[in-house]
Every structure is written in structure tokens, then in C-alpha cells.
Chain A
């Protein structure tokens, strides 16, 4: 029941765009996105809720396709600071405990 992220890794040049996908086999209530830099804690980026509500940073955009149970994180005009591992955390509709099941992560490297 772990969500699957794709791609596993991506390398970009500064200014390029990237999309990271997160797919679940279960009906979801919410999808959370976090970024983790090497040796640091995961940091919140965005929450997407069933029904279309979103909460997150202004410079980060994401979508949640409820029919497909898939979320995508859009990174535009990438900067060096975007480098890190991106995780999606999903909460099934059957749960309302805040329990997140995380994907395996997508490693993003932005080069000058």
C-alpha cells in the first residue's frame, strides 16, 4: 500500500522544470509533499485534499487527480536550493488519524 513515486531520480540544470508523480492503489483523503535535504529533516511543501483544497508554499504547485489517486508536484524554473529528496505521504480515505504512508522518494539534483 506504499505509494509509488516516479521518477526515482532526476537531474536538472538551473531554470529547468520537473514533475514528480505519486500514485496510490488506495482511495486517498490527502496527499502531503515533503522535501528532505541530505542529513536534514523532511520539510513540508504542500497538502492536497480530496475535494480540491490545497495548502502550501506559493512557489510550489501540485495537483491531485482523485479518479486516478495520483498527485503530481511541479517544480518550475528550478534553483540549486531545490535539490534534495522529495517524498509524498498519503492518507487513505478510511483513516483520519494523520497516519501518512510515504513513497520511496524522488532524488532531485539541480546543477548550475
Chain B
């Protein structure tokens, strides 16, 4: 049973460019959340998708946008990249209403903006 799959694993982009990160949730899960983890920090909530809609958003600018597809997979898009966007981007999946089983995280995408 595959867990959460994220692609690509590493990415280097230039300031001002746009990037798309992808996430396939664990089998049976219907909810996807995205987090940003800077070096030495805990993950920070970006937003969550359920039933193809953004259900909640953290304190991130509109440059961060996302999408969820009918098969529950999700994309995170970041426009006009800044040096400060360099971080590990994590995707977490869950089954709505089943928080007691925890949220399953992928291994992340390491984004470096130069």
C-alpha cells in the first residue's frame, strides 16, 4: 500500500519563476493538506483541499495556489518565486473525519530558489 507520493523530490528555480509541485494521497484518503517547512522550523500550514475545493488557508499570500483533482491528487503552484520560498514542501493526506489515525505525510519536495 503506497503512502503519500510527492514529485519532484528536488527542484531548483530562479527568482521570479513559477513552480508546480504534485502530490498523490495515500490510497483511501480524500483530503490533502500542504505545508511549508523552512530549515530548522516546524511545518507551516498552507492550505487544505477536500472535494476539489480549498477548505481552509493558512497565512500565505495569493502567490500560493492549489488544485485537487477528482482522483484526490493535488498540485501546489507558487508564482513569482522569492528567495524566501526555498523550503521543504510537504503534502499530508487523511480521510475526512478520521483524524485519530493521524495525517500521513509524504517525503516532500525540496525547493531551492536562486
The yes or no verdict on A and B being binding partners is no
Q: Which residues from chain B sit less than 8 Å from chain A, CB to CB? A: none
Q: Which residues from chain A sit less than 8 Å from chain B, CB to CB? A: none
